[in-house]
Structure 1
Amino acid sequence: MKLMKLGSRPDIFFSSGPVRSVSTEVATDMQILVDGCLFRLHKFPLLSKCMWLQALCVESGDGGGAVELPAFPGGAEAFEVCAKFCYGITVTIGPHNVVAVRCAAAHLGMTEAADRGNLAAKLDAFLSSCLLRHWKDALAVLHSTRRYVALCDELGVTSRCVDAVAALIADANGEASAAVPASSSPPWWARDISELGVDLYWRVMVAVRAAGTVHGKAMGDALKAYARRWLPIATKNQYAAERTDGGAGNAEWAAKNHRLLVEKIVGLLPPERNAVSCGFLLNLLKAANVLGASPASKAELTRRVASQLEDTNVSDLLIPAATPCGGEKPYDVDAVVAILEEFALRQAAAGSVDGSPVNAGRHRRSRSAESAAELEGARRSTSTAAVSHGAMVRVGRLVDGFLAVVAKDVRTPLDKMIAVAEAVPDCARPEHDDLYRAIDTYLRVCAPPYP
């Protein structure tokens, strides 16, 4: 941790209960109340460096009363550092307090316009030349901007920290590259930035992506690490909010914050097909259902899952309904139908000719479905290719396995069972044993008894 010392005089501040004063022969002539602490100081050293206090004294005249600074950034501790700097007393600045003191200096107007070599300029130079060049220090400074979001954005401190952290990530040969052993599964930086709040994390990842030096797979692994860190907590808190007394207000507040988490992660997904696994995408879709993410986020996840559907398994495809407690069905069959429809549209958009293994034996679709296929074809990337016959068979087995599970629940509607069963072409089922077993299970569990 890098530190900077300013000033050379010994500390002459002392405390007497809630009062902080200066031990000198000259009587104090200014009282400032900050966060319940009363500072008895001298006008001359403070006013020579603080433009805001100058203007305040001009407005108030020589009233002699205490000047209160409500909601002062950093509180009494940050104000005391600024006051000691005005007196020339030695103060120590590091990653733990540089943001608070910088915000306090800005509030007091301790700029070059007040005095050359003032505190704000010294702190900015320390940030640029030292703290933001070292991984741990830069992260610590970025973390501390959360307390003063609006002021840090106004001063540009947050953007400087974000750019610095992103640059250290992008520079694979920098000092930070050795911070975590290379054997770590996620990128060396993923675990550290996973402690950031979603807004700061999103800004860092956008800057990293803009640099263009980090591969999509590494970006995907970093997103997986962040999701593992926060999504289980968000989902648990959402359920808890719905169960508490007066749960409507709690659930609404939780949904607003947790929804943002899912949507930001979805927005950061790399465009490369194999950057993240299909299982991870389905886990995101499950969280999106529970946390009430936007339809656009769910649609994006549906498209991505459909492009990798042959790589998933039945357990991943069991998506909880949006209201698992007291809802109409335990699993969101509609979401699976949407994935399979998207999968079919992708195959149609791949330009496969009729009679190919992919299209052979496809079930007849409605006119609306045919029109949708034509419209979606223009949206699909030209790189999209039809899956192989073996992959299509895997999708068929996946669908039949999903049917075998949902067939055991009496709340599964018959029309949904049929929609899922017909969503794949005949060529995906070289044999129909699994489908027959699912139908048999459904009839035994769900069919009404004969009179």
Structure 2
Amino acid sequence: MVHIKVYNSLLLQKILAFFSGKLRKLLLGKFKGTGRGVKVIFHDFPGGAECFELIARFCYNNGIIVLTPSNIFLLHYAANFLEMKGDIHGIPNLILQAKIYLEGVHYWTWPELVVGLKQCQDLLPVLSSSRIFQEFLDSLVEKLFMHGVASQRTSSSDSSSFQFSGDISSEGAKNYNSQTTWWFQDLGFISIVLLENMVHTMILQNVEHATVCSFLLYYQKSRFFSVSTAERCKVTETVVNLLSLLDEGSISYRGLLDAFGMTLSLKMSRCCMVKLESLIGSRLDQAKLDDLLVPSPPGKKYAYDSNLILRLVKIFLLESSNKYSNHRLKKFAGLIDLYIAEVAPDPYLRPSKFAALAMSLPDVARDSHDRIYRAIDMHFEVHRGLCEDEKISVCCALNYNKLSPENVKHLARNPNFPTGLVVTASVCLKSKLLKTLLMEGHHHKISCDNLKNIRAKNERRK
């Protein structure tokens, strides 16, 4: 809001209103027959009092002002707001002067573009739908990825750096330097609204998605410790929404896990978490065991968030049904088996949840069920109070035909397992032994037949 109090009618009539069509309309007839001053209030004046001061200087200086990247957007929008269209004594009006200056934005240096961007941010959301604003962003992105632009970097960018790792400390920005990321710190000041505009422009201009991803993850980390909790949620949600626009293969998986780790202390929207879990779950086979050991939500006694892992596994399997090889699926099963073994001794993990984890993968994913058997055995050791029905429901995850003879033999004598399953294991063991004997006999017969054939051939040659 701008208040203009004028007690000298000539100041408005002869100077300000002379250049501004809007002021002329407002003040028409106001001074006739009165010596009183006039008060004009603009509730939505672009740039506020600072900008009006620039306009006043322009008017007092008879339509002349030095245009710079630090004032051009303020003057452009103020001139349009005040309808400063008329040329004065052969001097182009302010709207035309600003337009001509902005047409040369392609020749601005990088530091000048950064200064202009800060001005644009101050004028949002007035600028958001402006053609001139979009042209400016186009020029900035073009300049950003032109060859040699790094030499034009601002002084603040000399220390631009960030380390992408599991460490989310604010000191992580000291030992990383790259020609492709030097500008991250220069643009770290932008608001989330301006961030959205910037990223959409980068995508439209076919900037490498991996670079866009790195910038987004840097932005989230760099803002995380300097804003309120509510603002952290907004920043994270914006970053996740923008990441979902990128090619999946271009997104740093380690960066995604770091971003997810930062959400654990926040109350994120369900929509945001679904998107983030989808990005992580689709490539869950790239995770390590430590990545899966996510602490349980506050107020829960069990050690790790097994519900989260079940959701991520489901997402991975939906993706893998079409594009992942059997080898990749089996490698993934090894990771999940390690996780199951890790959570099996948890005294607060319910048997039904443990069973869901054990049965979360299709049978084809595992060539052997030995690790699953050992995990179940450990779970039963800790949960000695389980009834037969609960144990049977857990044991449904076992495929006895995929157990080694040693583990089948161990199961047949294991008092932790239900009696009926012990009997089944004994039958399975006998079947395995019989098959082994038959196979050995079959191989022996083949070997004898081969030997006879060789001897017969030798006899014929003689």
**TM-score, with length taken from structure 2:** 0.65
Shift of the 86–183 alpha-carbon distance from structure 1 to 2, 3 Å rule, reads same
Counterpart of 1:267 in structure 2 is 244
1:197 to 173, 191, 202: 191
Shift of the 229–329 alpha-carbon distance from structure 1 to 2, 3 Å rule, reads farther
Letter in 1 for 2:219: Y
Counterpart of 1:386 in structure 2 is 325
Equivalent residues in 2 for 1:70-81 (5 A)? 70-71=42-43, 72-81=45-54
1:210 corresponds to 2:204: yes
Counterpart of 1:58 in structure 2 is 28
The answer to which of 257-266 and 80-89 deviates more is: 257-266
Shift of the 345–165 alpha-carbon distance from structure 1 to 2, 3 Å rule, reads same
Query: 1:320 deviation in Å?
Result: 5.3
Counterpart of 1:103 in structure 2 is 77
2:335 to 387, 398, 421: 398
Query: 1:50 deviation in Å?
Result: 0.5
1:227 corresponds to 2:220: yes
> Partners of 2:198 and 2:88 in 1: how far apart?
34
Query: 1:431 deviation in Å?
Result: 5.8
Letter in 2 for 1:119: L
Deviations 1:227-260 (A, max 9, x none): 32235667xx43xxxxxxxxxxxxxx65873464
Counterpart of 1:68 in structure 2 is 40
Greater RCO structure (CA 8 Å; 6+ sep) = 1
Query: 1:112 deviation in Å?
Result: 4.5
Shift of the 402–38 alpha-carbon distance from structure 1 to 2, 3 Å rule, reads farther
What is the RMSD computed on CA atoms of the aligned residues?
A: 3.8
Tell me if structure 2 keeps the 8 A contact 1:309–1:343.
yes
Give unpaired runs (5+ residues) of structure 1: 1-32, 239-252, 350-383
Shift of the 140–172 alpha-carbon distance from structure 1 to 2, 3 Å rule, reads same
Equivalent residues in 2 for 1:140-289 (5 A)? 140-153=115-128, 155-169=130-144, 171-173=145-147, 175=149, 179=153, 184=178, 186-212=180-206, 214-231=207-224, 237-238=228-229, 257-258=234-235, 260-268=237-245, 270-273=246-249, 275-287=250-262
1:292 to 268, 287, 291: 268
1:417 corresponds to 2:354: yes
> Partners of 1:408 and 1:127 in 2: how far apart?
67
Tell me if structure 1 keeps the 8 A contact 2:184–2:218.
yes
Give unpaired runs (5+ residues) of structure 2: 159-175, 388-462
Query: 1:55 deviation in Å?
Result: 0.7
1:44 corresponds to 2:14: yes
* Secondary structure in 2 matching 1:424: coil
Counterpart of 2:291 in structure 1 is 316
Query: 1:291 deviation in Å?
Result: 4.0
> Partners of 2:110 and 2:383 in 1: how far apart?
60
Query: 1:184 deviation in Å?
Result: 0.7
Larger radius of gyration: 2
Deviations 1:44-86 (A, max 9, x none): 1222211111011116343532323344433333222211211
> Partners of 1:435 and 1:125 in 2: how far apart?
73
Letter in 2 for 1:205: V
Letter in 2 for 1:215: E
Equivalent residues in 2 for 1:372-383 (5 A)? none
Corresponding residue pairs, total? 359
Tell me if structure 1 keeps the 8 A contact 2:214–2:252.
no
Tell me if structure 1 keeps the 8 A contact 2:304–2:343.
yes
Shift of the 227–74 alpha-carbon distance from structure 1 to 2, 3 Å rule, reads closer
Shift of the 224–258 alpha-carbon distance from structure 1 to 2, 3 Å rule, reads closer
Tell me if structure 2 keeps the 8 A contact 1:78–1:100.
yes
> Partners of 1:144 and 1:313 in 2: how far apart?
45
Shift of the 131–85 alpha-carbon distance from structure 1 to 2, 3 Å rule, reads farther
> Partners of 1:416 and 1:233 in 2: how far apart?
39
Shift of the 36–49 alpha-carbon distance from structure 1 to 2, 3 Å rule, reads closer
> Partners of 1:168 and 1:329 in 2: how far apart?
53
Tell me if structure 2 keeps the 8 A contact 1:279–1:316.
no
Tell me if structure 2 keeps the 8 A contact 1:281–1:305.
yes
Query: 1:96 deviation in Å?
Result: 3.0
Counterpart of 1:133 in structure 2 is 108
1:123 corresponds to 2:123: no
Deviations 1:25-58 (A, max 9, x none): xxxxxxxx94588686352122221111101111
Shift of the 433–137 alpha-carbon distance from structure 1 to 2, 3 Å rule, reads farther
Query: 1:162 deviation in Å?
Result: 1.9
> Partners of 1:419 and 1:121 in 2: how far apart?
69
Letter in 1 for 2:80: A
1:338 corresponds to 2:311: yes
Deviations 1:340-389 (A, max 9, x none): 1232233332xxxxxxxxxxxxxxxxxxxxxxxxxxxxxxxxxx24252x
Shift of the 345–75 alpha-carbon distance from structure 1 to 2, 3 Å rule, reads closer
> Partners of 1:299 and 1:85 in 2: how far apart?
53
The answer to which of 254-263 and 398-407 deviates more is: 254-263
* Secondary structure in 1 matching 2:19: coil
